[in-house]
Amino acid sequence: MTIQTTSSRRTWLKQSAVAMGAMAFAPQQIWASTVKEAQQEGRKFLYHKSTFNEFTPPKLPDLSTVNARLVWNENPHGPSKMAAKAFQKAVWDGNHYSWSSLDDLVKKIATYEGVKEEQVMMAPGSSDLLEKTALVYFQKGGNVVSADPSYMSLVSVAKAAGGAWKAIKLTPDYQHDLPAMEAAIDSDTKLVYITNPNNPTATITDTEALKSFCRRVSRKVPVFVDEAYIELSDGGLANSMVPLVAEGCNIFVSRTFSKIHGMAGLRLGYMLGKTESLNAINEITRGGMGITGPTIAAGSASMDDTEYLTSCKDKLVEARNYTTSYLTSRGFDFMPSQTNFVMFPIDMPGDTFLENIYDRKVVVRAFKFWDQDWCRVSMGTMKEMEYFKDAIDAILV
Ligand SMILES: Cc1ncc(COP(=O)(O)O)c(C=O)c1O
Cα separation, 294 vs 266, whole angstroms: 9
- Which 3 state secondary structure label does DSSP give 372? strand
Ligand 1 site, CB within 6 A: 73, 125-127, 151, 195, 199, 226, 228, 256, 258, 264, 269
pLDDT value at residue 28: 38
Cα separation, 119 vs 129, whole angstroms: 14
Q: Is residue 87 part of a domain?
A: no
Q: Is residue 221 part of a domain?
A: yes
- Which 3 state secondary structure label does DSSP give 75? coil
> Where do runs of H (alpha helix) occur along the chain?
6-24, 31-41, 81-90, 99-113, 126-137, 153-160, 178-184, 207-217, 242-247, 275-284, 293-304, 306-329, 350-359, 382-395
pLDDT value at residue 59: 85
- Of the listed ranges 14-18, 71-75, 85-89, 301-305, the one predicted with least confidence: 14-18
- Which 3 state secondary structure label does DSSP give 315? helix
Q: What is the mean pLDDT of residues 262-275?
A: 98
What percentage of the chain has pLDDT greater than the value 70?
Answer: 91
Domain limit, last residue, from 249, 284, 304: 304
Residue nearest ligand 1's atom 16 by CA: 199
User: How far, in Å, from the CA of 155 to the mean position of ligand 1?
Assistant: 13
Same domain, 297 and 314: no
Q: What is the CATH number of the domain that holds 116?
A: 3.40.640.10
Domain limit, last residue, from 242, 272, 304: 304
Q: Is the pLDDT of residue 190 over 70?
A: yes
Q: What is the mean pLDDT of residues 289-296?
A: 95
User: How far, in Å, from the CA of 126 to the mean position of ligand 1?
Assistant: 6
Can you tell me which atom of ligand 1 is nearest the CA of 258?
10
Q: What is the mean pLDDT of residues 1-27?
A: 37
Q: Is residue 2 part of a domain?
A: no
Q: Is the pLDDT of residue 386 over 90?
A: yes
> Between residues 169 and 24, which one has the greater pLDDT?
169
Same domain, 295 and 197: yes
Can you tell me which atom of ligand 1 is nearest the CA of 256?
11
Q: How many CB atoms lie within 10 A of CB 328?
A: 11
Same domain, 264 and 368: no
Same domain, 280 and 325: no
Q: Is residue 176 part of a domain?
A: yes
pLDDT value at residue 63: 86
- Of the listed ranges 3-7, 357-361, 382-386, the one predicted with least confidence: 3-7
pLDDT value at residue 30: 57
Q: Is residue 257 part of a domain?
A: yes
Q: Is the pLDDT of residue 18 over 90?
A: no
> Between residues 8 and 286, which one has the greater pLDDT?
286
Q: What is the mean pLDDT of residues 378-382?
A: 98
Q: What is the mean pLDDT of residues 18-30?
A: 39
Q: What is the CATH number of the domain that holds 321?
A: 3.90.1150.10
Same domain, 223 and 353: no
Domain limit, last residue, from 282, 304, 326: 304
Q: Is the pLDDT of residue 7 over 90?
A: no
- Of the listed ranges 34-43, 147-156, 160-169, 342-351, the one predicted with least confidence: 34-43
Can you tell me which atom of ligand 1 is nearest the CA of 257?
11
Q: Is the pLDDT of residue 14 over 50?
A: no
Same domain, 168 and 193: yes
- Of the listed ranges 235-249, 271-285, 329-343, the one predicted with least confidence: 271-285
Same domain, 249 and 103: yes
Same domain, 284 and 254: yes
Q: pLDDT band at 357, cuts 50/70/90?
A: very high
| Residues of the domain holding 385 | 44-78+307-395
Q: What is the mean pLDDT of residues 320-349?
A: 97
- How far does CA 29 lie from the centroid of its chain? 14
Same domain, 147 and 255: yes
User: How far, in Å, from the CA of 394 to the mean position of ligand 1?
Assistant: 31
Can you tell me which atom of ligand 1 is nearest the CA of 126?
11
Residue nearest ligand 1's atom 6 by CA: 127
Q: Is residue 219 part of a domain?
A: yes
Q: How does the average pLDDT of the chain come out, rounded?
A: 91
Can you tell me which atom of ligand 1 is nearest the CA of 264?
10
Q: Say which amino acid occupies 180.
A: A
Per the document, the length of the chain is 397
Same domain, 168 and 231: yes
pLDDT value at residue 25: 34
User: How far, in Å, from the CA of 230 to the mean position of ligand 1?
Assistant: 12
Same domain, 260 and 327: no
Same domain, 334 and 293: no
pLDDT value at residue 106: 98
Q: Is residue 191 part of a domain?
A: yes
Q: pLDDT band at 44, cuts 50/70/90?
A: confident
> Burial level of 77, CB count in 10 A (0-12/13-18/19+)?
middle
Q: What is the mean pLDDT of residues 287-299?
A: 93
Residue nearest ligand 1's atom 3 by CA: 228
Q: Is the pLDDT of residue 20 over 60?
A: no
> Burial level of 245, CB count in 10 A (0-12/13-18/19+)?
buried
pTM of the model: 0.90
Q: pLDDT band at 348, cuts 50/70/90?
A: very high
Q: Is residue 166 part of a domain?
A: yes
Q: Is the pLDDT of residue 313 over 80?
A: yes
- Counted domains in the chain: 2
